Amino acid sequence: MNTELYDDETFTPEEKEIPSRKAFGKLMPLLKDHVGGLVLCLIMLIGATALSLYWPILMKRAIDVNITGGDFDGLLITVLIIAGIQCLTIVFQFVQRIKLEIIGQNVMLKLKKRLFDHILKLNISYFDKNPVGRLMARVENDTEALRMLFTNTVVLVVGDILLVTGIYAVMFYYSWRLALVLFCIIPIFLTLTYIFQRKTTPHFLEVRKKMAEVTAKVTEFLHGMSIIQIFHRGEYARRKIDVANRLKFTEDRYVNIAVVLYFNTVFCFEYIMIALVLYLGVLWIQSGHITVGMISMFIILIWRSFEPIYRTSEQLANIQKAIAGAKRIFALLSQDDYMKDSEKPAEWNGLKDSIKFENVWFSYTGDDNWVLKDVSFEIKVGKRVALAGVTGGGKTTIISLLLRYYDPQKGRITLDGIDVRDIPRDVLRKRFALVLQDILLFPDTVKANIALDEPGVTDERVVQAAKIVEADHFIRRLPNGYDTEVSEKGANFSRGERQLLSFARALVTNPDILLLDEATSSVDPETERAIQESLRKLMKGRTSLIIAHRLSTILDVDEILVIRRGEIIERGTHTDLILQNGYYSKLFHLQFKNKNGVLKDAG
């Protein structure tokens, strides 16, 4: 029985309700281009199975005719025919396996492409509810389970059915009496196998879950090794891993004992059937109902008939995985959690007048847990507006709504008087550039990370953008300059350098509107001053919306909107808000007072 790790064994309520036939039916069209190849593989499978059944018959002939009659020339011919049959069987199996593997890889390539294309269309809210690990399991683990089903399991199961059917057909043809005695044992064996599967399947599932828990804990502690060592938490980590391993061992022990008992019982049945053949064969030889060659043939066929049994457990596990994978993939492909563009899209060629939020209410959960409450403001073209307030106030949500990651439940957002819901999303987002707190760099060159394969972005524009944000000087110091490979998550750059690269990425497309979410929160004061100077040049005449906890970065903007608990409670310039002596003034004084209560330089 297969006990290997299989991530995310549990079904969601939606996945449980999907019939297996419906799930596989969704995937069957992927095979329509390969019907000819599949038919060819089936023909080769039937041929290979028939050939594998013919050589035991030749073995009977070798004993009963050639050896008994002293025909050694005939024996040599029989042996050569058996060798030829074996070689031909191997060729059939090899060609069939290669052909099926090619078909399976092509089908999985189409399926993965279809899955990823579908994922790219899903709304951001879907990713809020579904962890990355679960989606990775859908794209990789579940498609691999289906590939194994199509290229390996189905072939083995069909081949095993043909083999067992053929074996008993040959047995009944040559000695129906002996075949009937052996056939009567099969119901007992099948009942035993059913009980074994029924009792052990939950435990095998539990073993995989426990193994996943062990893997998760080991991964967690390896990622946090610096913290474990600094805080001397080695004993804590060892204890946690030990508990997880012991729980896994407890389940594993039961499973292994059950497997040993089952397969030893299978061995017993195999030898009981061989013993019956030998005993009855000796009795019936005297009456002429059976020959020595026939006894040998029956023993070989009994051995062959038990081959599928030894594969049953593994194939059942693969089938279970494939069924689960098909249901999960069907559920993902049926997911329509994405925003549809308007059936009558409006024409919008860039910001000419203003951005407006008109009485906007928004909740991530769709209930009364409002993140934004009756938010209204206007940003005129070319103006710089900042959003200020403590974490969780709703500042980043405003940017998400503006980019149409989500739609508000009440109110509307307009660009030049056009509702953003009427503007195609690709047209809308091309006019924006976004810089986030969490900087994501892809495993590619520095140049590719700045350009992001945007049509029309030349090498000169990449360099120009890097110079504006003061990134060019450190990029040129890299071993291969702009062609230097970026490691996973940009680990070969400091956090400040990653921030500068994200600035260059935002500028390279020359956007109409800049969205800066805590854009300088991760750089040192000296770098921040250089960036602020570059941003001032960049934002001159360009519409900008800036989020910052560090109020020193937004002192010279045209307007500051102060947000608290989803509501705009104050608005005005920095000077106006300080003079109001309200919430913003308190935040400002808290940030720039030193320990003696004296105001520090705010920049």
Q: 8 falls in which pLDDT band (50, 70, 90)? A: very low
State pLDDT tens for residues 55-91: 899 998 899 888 888 888 888 999 999 999 999 999 9
| Mean pLDDT estimate for the chain | 83
State pLDDT tens for residues 248-264: 888 888 888 888 888 88
Q: Are 1 and 303 in contact (CB under 8 A)?
A: no
Q: What CATH number belongs to 13-333? A: 1.20.1560.10
**Location of each CATH 1.20.1560.10 domain in the chain:** 13-333
User: How high is the pLDDT of residue 402?
Assistant: 93
Q: Are 435 and 506 in contact (CB under 8 A)?
A: yes
State pLDDT tens for residues 123-162: 887 787 777 767 777 788 788 888 888 788 888 888 888 9
Query: For residue 360, is pLDDT > 50?
Result: yes
Q: 518 falls in which pLDDT band (50, 70, 90)? A: low
Copy the structure tokens of residue 553: 């970065």
What does the longest C-alpha to C-alpha distance in the chain come to?
119
Copy the structure tokens of residue 45: 């499978």
Copy the structure tokens of residue 260: 């040993």
Q: What percent of the chain has pLDDT over 90?
A: 21
Neighbours of 198 (CB within 10 A): 9
- Cα(144)–Cα(139) distance, integer angstroms: 8
State pLDDT tens for residues 192-226: 888 887 888 777 767 777 877 787 788 888 878 87
Tell me the β-bridge partners of 340: none
Nearest one of 521, 516, 548 to 436, comparing CA atoms: 516
- Cα(418)–Cα(381) distance, integer angstroms: 14
**Location of each CATH 3.40.50.300 domain in the chain:** 352-431+514-519+545-592
Structure pTM? 0.69
Q: What percent of the chain has pLDDT over 70?
A: 91
- Cα(373)–Cα(411) distance, integer angstroms: 10
- CA distances to 93, 97, 99, 239, 411 from 90, rounded to whole Å, are 5, 10, 14, 52, 70
- Cα(469)–Cα(532) distance, integer angstroms: 9
**CATH classification of 352-431+514-519+545-592 is 3.40.50.10190, yes or no?**
no
Dump the DSSP string for 514-560: EEEESTTTTS-HHHHHHHHHHHHHHHTTSEEEEE-SSGGGGTTSSEE
Query: For residue 357, is pLDDT > 90?
Result: yes
Q: Pick the residue with more confidence: 286 or 299?
A: 299
CA angle 534, 535, 538 (to 5 degrees): 90
